[in-house]
Structure 1
Amino acid sequence: MIEVDVVIIGGGIVGASAALFLSQAGRRVALLERDFCGSHSSGVNYGGVRRQGRPLSQLPLSQRAHDIWGQLPRLIGIDGEYQRSGHLKLARSAEDLRALHDYATSSQGFGLDLQLLDRAELRARFPWVGAIAVGASLCPDDGHANPRLVSPAFAQAARRHGAQIHEQCAVSTVEHNGQRFAVHSETGLVVHAPWLLNCAGAWASHFAAQFGEAVPMHAGHPAMLVTEPLPWVMNASTGVEGGGIYARQVARGNCVLGGGQGFALDDARARPGQNAVIDILRQAVELYPFLQGAQAIRTWSGTEGYLPDRQPVIGHSSTQAGLLHAFGFAGAGFQIGPAVGQALTEIICNGASTTPLDAFSITRFHSISVA
C-alpha cells in the first residue's frame, strides 16, 4: 500500500503527460497502467499532430498543445520524430470545398493560419495529389510524430521526475472513504490519494460508472497500415473532408495510412480487417497515385473510446470531489493530450484550468439513459 497526492488510472498520452506535469509541480504521483504505457490508442494511432478540423470548442486546448509539442525534446528528452510538415485537408467535391471554406471562416482567431487552395493552386504546390481532389485547406504548422515513441516517452520522463509508474497493473476497484481514494489493482497494489485522474481510455466509462456517472461510450478500432519504403514524395500530412482516409510519409520513405474501422478480438486487442484495408488502398490510389503498386508491409489496429458527440469528457466529476475525468477522445487525443494533462495539473495545483473546459463536462450525459 502506498500513499501519494494523485493516483492516475491509464498510461496513455493524457495520463502520462499529467503524471509528468504534476511531478514537475512537486506532487507525489502514482500511475497505474493495465498493459504498457502508450500501448493502446496513444501508441497505435496515425500520429497526426493537427489542429485543423477540430471542433471549435477544442481549439483553445489544441493551440495550447501546439505550443507544448514545440518543446518536446526539453520535456521528454526526444523529438519523437515530430515535424511541422503542414496538414493538408483535401476536398473531393465542390460541397467539400465549401465546408473547408466555412471552417476557415469560423476558426479565424485561433491561430491556425489556414490557406485555402483551389484546384490549380493545389496541383502547383502538391503535384502528388490525385485529380479526384478539387481543392484543399492547408494548416502549415500542423504535422505528425511517431506515437510509438512519444507516448511512452512521456511516462519515462514522469518517472525521471519522481512519478511511480506501475505497468501491467490493471485496476480492479476504486473506493472513496470520505477523505481519499483507495485504488486496488489486480497485482495486490493499493494506492491511496486525495485526487484520482480517470484517464483509462476506452475503459474509463467503467470507472466513471463506479461513481454514478455512467456514459454512453463505445469502443472503436482504427484500421491502419504502413507501406514499404518509397521515394520521398509527400511533404505534408493529409486528411480528407468528410473522412475516409488519412496518410503521411515518414523520413524513411514508408507511408502510414488509416481509415475506417476494424474489429475487436477481445477486450484489449483488435485487428483492422480485410475489407477496411482494401478500402484504404482503393482510396489511396485515387488520392495519391504514386502509391499505385506499393506493398503494404504491416497492418494494425487498437481500441479507442467514442462518445455520441465525439467530444471528450475532461474535468471534474459531478458526484465525487477529487475525481477528474479525461477520456473519450474519439481517436483524436494524440495532439491534444499534453494540453489536457497540463490542464488537469492546473486544476489540482491551482484550483482551475486556464483553458476553458466547460464544453467537455461529464454532466452533458446526465439526462441520457445508458443501457
Structure 2
Amino acid sequence: MPGPKLDPVASDLSLPGAVDVVIIGGGIVGVCTALELVERGLKVAICEKGEIGCEQSSRNWGWVRLTHRDLREMPLMVESVRLWKGLDARIEGDTGYRQCGVTFTCATDAALAEERIWLEHLKDYQIPAKLLTRDEALAQFDGLDLDIKGALYNPHDGRAEPQKAAPAIARAVQARGGTVHQNCAVRVVETDGGKISGVVTEQGRIACSKVLVAGGVWSRLFLGNLGIELPQLRTKSTVLATEPVPNGPEGTVKFKDFALRKRRDGGYTVASALPSKYQLTPDSFRLFSAFLPTLKNEWRNINLGIGPAFLDALRTRRHWGPKDRTPFEDTRVLDPAPDPAAIDKVFDIIKAAYPLFRNVGVAQRWAGYIDVLPDIIPVISPTEGVKNGLPGLFVATGFSGHGFGLGTGAGRLAADLITDHPPVVDPTPFRLHRFSDGSKITPLSGVTSR
C-alpha cells in the first residue's frame, strides 16, 4: 500500500562536480540542515535514495511538541519551536505549522500527578502550560466524553504537515543555490589522507570535504559499511487519516488509547498511544546488550513479534563498494504494510467517545519505521572520537519518534557543528561516542507522543 501523498520536489538535472557539503538523506533533518548551510553561503547537495520526505518524515503524527520531551532534548526543542514559528515566512513556503495547543488527558490520579511534575519542567522554560479539570479539558472538544481526571494543556505545542514540510524546505534550499538529487543513493564516502574527499553516488561522484549522514533507519547500515558502529534499531507505527470533518476541533488531544490532531485538509490524523509492535531482526540480537537499559525500563511497553522484517534483514547486504548496487537502490522507499485491525480499533474508540466522528470515513492508512537508539535521544555529532570515525563526517539520526518536531533545531545544531560555529545548544548529550566512552545510557520512560 503506498504511503501518504507528498508535495512534489523537482530534482536538479545534473550532479554538481564539487560542493562543500553532501547531505545523505532528504528527510526533515537533512533538508533543515541544508537550509542552514546554504543560508551561510555553503554549496550543498542533498542526495536522497527515494523522494524527499518519503519515509518517516512524511509518515509521523505531525506533532511539534515541547511537552513530554526527554529533558536532555528540551533546550533543542525550545530552539526548534522558535524556528518553526518563523519558518514559513523564511522559506516563503507552506509547512502547515501552527501552535494549536495539545491537551494531554489523564485517566488516573497517578497520571495527573506525573503531569504536575511536567508542568514544573515546562515552567522552567517560561512555557505557559496549565493543568485542567476534566470539564475544562473536554470543553475544548465539544461532545467528547472520556473517563479522565484532568489534563495538562500546553498552548505552545503545535502541529505541521509532514507531507508538506520537508518538500517545502527542500525547494527553499534549491532557491538558495543548493541542489536536490532524488533516486540518487550515495554508495560510499571517499577519503584522501584520512579526510573526506567526496562521495560516490549511483549517478556519479561529487567532490566535497564534509558529509552529513541523515538517513533515518538506514543510517546504521550506511555507517556500518564504513566500520562505524551505530546502535540503532527500528520499530513500526501505523497511522490513519480520516476524511474531512466539518467543524472539527482545532486542538490536538491525547488519551491513553489514542492521539488525534487536525490536518490541513480538514481530516484528522489518528494514531495509537499504545506501544507499537516491534519485529525482531538480527540486529535485535546483535544490539541486545546496548539496548538492555531500555528493555529494563520499558519492557512492559514493548510488543515483540516475528515477521518479514527478520528475513528481509538477513537478505540485506551489509558491505559493498563504489561500483556495487547497494541496499538503498534495492529499496527506494520503506513502505511497510499498516496494521489496519489495530488502527481501526483505535478509531472505533474515538467514534464511541466522540459523536462528531461516528460517520467519518477513513481516507488512508499507512505505516512507517521509526529509528530508535538505546537512550531514546538522537545522535547529532561528528564521527571523530569513535572507531573508524572520519574528520568531516557527521551524523544526525536516531530521533526515536521525536524527529519531526526537532527537525528545525537539529538542522541548526548539525549546521553549527559542520561549520565550526558556536553550537546553538550544548551538543554533549547527542554525541555519537556516548555509546562507546563508558557513559551510562539512561532512557526516558513513558515517552509515546510523536
Aligned pair 1:167/2:182, yes or no? yes
Is 1:27 the counterpart of 2:42 in the alignment?
yes
Tell me the secondary structure at the aligned position of residue 71 of structure 1: helix
> 2: distance between equivalents of 1:19 and 1:85?
28
Change (3 A) 1:213 1:129: farther
Distance apart, 1:289 and its partner CA: 4.6
Which residue of structure 1 lines up, in the alignment, with residue 27 of structure 2? 12
Q: CA deviation at 1:287?
A: 5.2
Counterpart for residue 186 of structure 1: 202
Matched, 1:255 2:321: no
Cα distance in 2, alignment partners of residues 111 and 245 from structure 1:
28
Counterpart-to-counterpart distance in 2, 1:132 and 1:195: 54
Counterpart for residue 51 of structure 1: 66
Query: What is the TM-score normalised by the length of structure 1?
Result: 0.91
Select the residue among 209, 221, 238 that pairs with 2:236.
221
Aligned-pair distance for 1:230? 1.7
Identity percentage of aligned residues: 28
Go from structure 1 to structure 2 and tell me whether the alpha carbon gap of 1:303 and 1:26 turns closer, same or farther (over 3 Å shift).
same
| Structural mapping, 1:47-86, within 5 Å | 47-86=62-101
Q: Deviations over 1:24-73 (max 9, x none)?
A: 11111111101011111111212111111111111111111111111122
* SS of corresponding position for 2:83: helix
The change in CA–CA distance for 1:182 and 1:324 in structure 2 (over 3 A counts) is same
Specify the alignment match of 1:231 in structure 2: 246
Q: Which amino acid aligns with 1:44?
A: R
SS of the residue 2:195 aligns to: coil
* Cα contact 1:310–1:330 (8 A) shared by 2: yes
Identify the match of residue 297 of structure 1 among 360, 363, 366.
363
Sort the Cα spacing of 1:287 and 1:151 in 2 relative to 1 into closer, same or farther, 3 A. Answer: farther
1:95 maps to which residue?
A: 110
Question: Partner amino acid for 1:248?
Answer: R
Partner AA of 2:401 in structure 1: G
Q: 1:311 aligns with which of 368, 372, 377?
A: 377
Alpha-carbon distance in 2 for matches of 1:7, 1:191: 8
Preserved contact between residue 104 and residue 151 of structure 2 (Cα < 8 Å): yes
Cα 1:56–1:240 change in 2 (3 A) is farther
Instruction: Structure 1: give runs of 5+ residues left out of the alignment.
Output: none
Secondary structure of the corresponding residue to residue 152 of structure 2: strand
Distance in 2 (alpha carbons) for counterparts of 1:170 and 1:303: 19
Partner letter of residue 25 of structure 1? R
Supply the distance in 2 between the matched residues of 1:72 and 1:128 (Cα, whole angstroms): 34
Equivalent in the alignment of 2:214: 199
How far off is 1:214 after superposition? 1.5
Q: CA deviation at 1:309?
A: 2.0
SS in 2 for 1:180: strand
- For 2:187 and 2:370, the matched residues in 1 are separated by 20
- Quote the Cα distance in structure 1 between the aligned partners of 2:349 and 2:228: 40
Structure 2 unaligned spans of 5+: 1-15, 280-307, 313-330, 439-450
User: Shift of residue 367 of structure 1?
Assistant: 6.5
Q: In 1, distance between residues paired with 2:140 and 2:205?
A: 57
Query: 1:28 touches 1:162 (CA, 8 Å); kept in 2?
Result: yes
Moved more, 263-272 or 57-66: 263-272
Change over 3 Å in CA distance of 1:24–1:255 after alignment to 2: same
- Cα deviation code 1:111-145 (max 9, x no counterpart): 33211112232234444432222211111022111
In structure 2, do the counterparts of structure 1 residues 202 and 111 end up closer, same or farther at CA, with 3 Å as the change threshold?
farther
Distance in 2 between residues matched to 1:202 and 1:77, nearest whole Å: 30
Amino acid paired to 1:358: T
The code of the aligned residue for 2:260 comes to: A
Task: Tell me the secondary structure at the aligned position of residue 215 of structure 1.
Answer: coil
TM-score (norm 2): 0.76
RMSD over aligned CA atoms reads: 2.2
What does residue 127 of structure 2 align with? 112
The CA distance in 2 between the partners of 1:128 and 1:171, in whole Å, is: 51
Q: Classify the secondary structure of the residue corresponding to 1:271.
A: coil
1:9–1:15 Cα contact (<8 Å) kept: yes
- The AA in structure 2 aligned to 1:355 is V
Deviation of the 1:159 alpha carbon: 0.9
Given the superposition, is the C-alpha separation of residues 92 and 193 from structure 1 closer, same or farther in structure 2, using an over 3 Å criterion?
Answer: same
> Contact conserved, 1:174 with 1:207, CA < 8 A, in 2?
no
Contact 1:68 1:339 in 2 (8 A): yes
8 Å CA contact 1:100–1:137 kept in 2: the answer is yes
CA contact (8 A) 1:269 1:302 kept: yes
Indicate if the aligned counterparts of 1:174 and 1:210 stay in contact, CA closer than 8 A.
no
User: Quick one: distance in 1 between partners of 2:437 and 2:346?
Assistant: 38
Q: Deviations over 1:306-329 (max 9, x none)?
A: 112221111121222212111011
The superposition leaves residues 60-113 of structure 1 with CA deviations (integer Å, 9 ceiling, x where unpaired) of: 111111111111222222232222111111112111111111111233322332
SS at match of 1:120: helix
Q: Which is further off, 272-281 or 89-98?
A: 272-281
Question: SS in structure 1 opposite 2:53?
Answer: coil
